[in-house]
Amino acid sequence: MKISTIAFTDNGMEIAGRLADSFEDCEFEISRCARGGLSQWTEEHFTRDAIVFIGAMGIAVRAIAPFVKTKTKDPAVIVVDELGHFSIPVLSGHIGGANELAVKIADVLGAVPVITTATDINNVFAIDTWAKGENLRILNPECIKLVSSKLLKGKTVHVKSSYFIGGKLPENIQINDLEDLNDYDVLITHNNGDIEKINNKNILLLVPAIITAGIGCRRGIGFEIIEKSVLNALNKENCHILSLKAIASIDKKANEKGILEFAGKYGLPFNTYSAEELNSLEGDFTKSDFVKSVVSVDNVCERSAIAESKGELIRRKDAGNGVTVALAINEPVISWE
């Protein structure tokens, strides 16, 4: 976890140091800033996982206000007073993990965590916190409040999942077979066909990140062609773009600009494997003597998809415009607990 901390006084810097010592497993950065430079500092650090302001709440709120976008992308923001008495999550309490981090900070400082989210203080199942923990991506975050509202009122929330979910069902959560998909409150699927059947805009749509794309390409292929090729492969298998977990290729493509741009645009990890690693994989792959003569591997896209996914191929090599794409899937392991 990447945490950026900013303080304005000697007391604040001392508290920041205590936190840094206690969060050794995190990438922890400490800054001291005059108020005039705070806006620029906040903008530069808003891509981090978490920001901790040690000072007044008002300063923090004014600093982050211009950069707040959506609860699925905003970082966790926590405010700690300069005496270390209170730890207060301000932004992205559930999905960003601000509530959890605020509690951890409070434990370190002997402070009081001030949690204000309704589901937490009423001890009600938080669908967004659960989704994040189970690596389910939220397609329409505006519907989180509709599910939470029903749970807070003690009403039943009906869930449809394309995958088995283990563990004990939370209170007022029910999985059943309703005749119409539009009668559910939550739909969990990576299948675009199911998602497109939904015309009820109040259904919360959760997409598991379970698809890996293996990519091979000629040197210098542009980002637009890479993007079109991957999206076409996903579309042919009815896979939503949010189900794409990672992309992979051979190590000779580690610096391929078009692939790197695609990974950056969609926030995906891009991992590469050596020819030896790819050749060591067992299985039935679409072989190419030409590819083997160039990179010493008979197939890059299928083998790299499997190497990264550890799952199984759902789409073999799609080739066109100098790009090959294959898709692999690894079924999700989801639990209510």
**CA gap 155, 152 in Å, rounded:** 8
Cα-flanking dihedrals φ and ψ of residue 116, to 5°?
A: -120, -5
pLDDT digits (tens, 9 = 90+) for 269-289: 999 999 999 999 988 998 888
**CA gap 72, 60 in Å, rounded:** 20
* Residue burial 199-234, b: 16+ Cβ < 10 Å; e: rest: eeeebbbbbbbbbbbbbbbeeebebebbbebbbebb
**CA gap 23, 143 in Å, rounded:** 34
Share of the chain above pLDDT 70, in %: 99
The pLDDT value given to residue 295: 81
Q: How confident is the model at residue 51 (pLDDT cuts 50, 70, 90)?
A: very high
Over residues 4-24, mean pLDDT: 93
Reduced 3-state DSSP string for 206-272: EEECCEEEEEEECCCCCHHHHHHHHHHHHHHCCECHHHEEEEEEEHHHCCCHHHHHHHHHHCCCEEE
Closest CA to 19 of 61, 79, 68: 79
Tally of CA atoms within 13 A in the half-sphere of 85 that contains its CB: 5
The DSSP letter of residue 94 is S
The pLDDT value given to residue 153: 95
The pLDDT value given to residue 236: 95
**CA gap 257, 219 in Å, rounded:** 9
Rounded to a whole number of angstroms, the distance between the first and last alpha carbons of the chain is 23
**CA gap 16, 218 in Å, rounded:** 49
**Whether pLDDT at 181 is above 90:** no
pLDDT digits (tens, 9 = 90+) for 85-104: 999 999 998 989 999 999 99
pLDDT digits (tens, 9 = 90+) for 205-247: 999 999 999 999 999 999 999 999 999 999 999 999 999 999 9
